[in-house]
Structure 1
């Protein structure tokens, strides 16, 4: 059985647009040609892939399965093209890596810099995502590796413990909450907040849990790093939710206090994740081993 990459690109486009017409337009094929390709694909596989109706098409169970495999195949083809093109720049491989806000801001910069220094022929494409999005991307083959909150990872994804990633409340020292050891998030949702920009994964995580409490957080300022947030909190502009490691780092030089958030969602554990560590390309396996060695010391999963 042979598969044409154009057929797979077309099928993905049709599945995503729920329309053969729109799918054909996306991959620059005539409608008649696209329809013929889909029918040929169904005939070759011996199954119906689409349910055709007046409002477009819906995937059959076989179509859903093909979509998953087609996305993985096309991701691997694009990865192959990128890696081969990189030879002309003296770079031999690229690892596609997704990380949540805490991992990207607090843990990875130093570790990745050390890895890249040791491996001059490997490059790393790093993108910030919320942990649930990382899990979906890893499962679909859209990324090689992830660093995500373990609770968001389904059973089918392999993981290696990396570190704790507790979220805490940060207050000014003169704030009425500053002497509290812990607080329920419900107690502070009506306060003024300082936070990360709206495109950050942590912003989505925190505001999502506020929404579950029926609250919409009121942000006095949104900034792009924890140090700037700490300065705002120190000045009494508002409270903030930060990873504990970032909060304690800021507290060494700023007039802020760190208060534990009692809610279960604030006690997260980070894990390195992949569909299969054994099936990873060698450069990605090398990065995994490097991250394991560079993992924060102490009791990551106590």
Structure 2
């Protein structure tokens, strides 16, 4: 049985986006070519991998298994390419770290920056994922370390705390909500919202909990960073849900109000995690030691 790396890369892109159209765009393939490649995979394997729906696709059990294995293979290929290329640049090792949106934007940059300065022969491959996806990737061997919400971690994962990620509602300072200290998320689901681009882990997290309430948020704008979101809120475009650390930083220079969200999903303890810290490659162990010191 032979697998084409382009096919595997395409299948992961289709699985992650839930759409052959969007997956083809991510893989830089024409839609007709992508569709033919997926059908070719199914024919070669003798099983259905996707179920085609009116709005995108969903994976079969076989498709989910192929996605997990394909992710591991693509990670190993990327690691191989990186390690070989590193001999030209002088870098000799790399660590693959998955992090949720808050970790990537608010908590990790300073610690990772100091790590890279201390270890010039190690490079970092940092990828944004939702906490549940981080768990799956680490369990499947597709990443060394994760930075995720602790409630999503299985018991057998090793971890250590790296702070608390409180999500807060940000509203214009003169809005009807600005005098509130706390609020239930259901109270604001009929408001106009400003959010992150829909491919970010935090956007998926918020949309998922809105769906559990039976609502679809009305997004007036989607942007790539919390500062831009808070500026839109300050301009009166809508309200937003952002990490408290980012909101407090923005509130120093913008006319916005911060309101605590009572819902449990808005208060998350964050942790660095792995299947086993002891069994990590040496570069990853060095990063773990550095991050432990960063939280003391």
TM-score using structure 1 length: 0.75
Counterpart CA distance in 1 for 2:269 and 2:242 is 14
Greater Cα radius of gyration, structure 1 or 2: 1
SS of structure 2 residue aligned to 1:159: strand
Structure 1 gap ranges (5+): 1-5, 35-49, 298-302
Matches within 5 A, 1:73-88: 79-80=79-80, 82-88=82-88
Counterpart CA distance in 1 for 2:274 and 2:268 is 18
SS of structure 2 residue aligned to 1:176: coil
Matches within 5 A, 1:28-39: none
Q: Corresponding residue for 1:284? A: 284
Q: Corresponding residue for 2:108? A: 108
Matches within 5 A, 1:214-225: 214-225=214-225
Q: 1:197 to 1:78 in 2, by over 3 A?
A: closer
1:82 CA drift (Å): 3.2
Q: 1:76 to 1:194 in 2, by over 3 A?
A: closer
Matches within 5 A, 1:17-28: none
Structure 2 gap ranges (5+): 13-36, 50-59
Q: 1:276 to 1:74 in 2, by over 3 A?
A: farther
Counterpart CA distance in 1 for 2:234 and 2:2 is 58
Counterpart CA distance in 2 for 1:69 and 1:9 is 13
Q: Corresponding residue for 2:52? A: none
Alignment pair present for 1:188 and 2:188: yes
Counterpart CA distance in 1 for 2:288 and 2:233 is 36
Pick which of 205-214 and 147-156 moved more.
147-156
RMSD: 3.1
Q: Corresponding residue for 1:270? A: 270
Q: Corresponding residue for 1:121? A: 121
TM-score using structure 2 length: 0.76
8 Å CA contact retained: 1:71, 1:141? no
Q: Corresponding residue for 1:38? A: none
Deviation per residue, 1:74-96 (Å, 9 max, x gap): 85576355324412220010101
Q: Corresponding residue for 1:175? A: 175
Counterpart CA distance in 2 for 1:154 and 1:187 is 32
8 Å CA contact retained: 1:8, 1:70? no
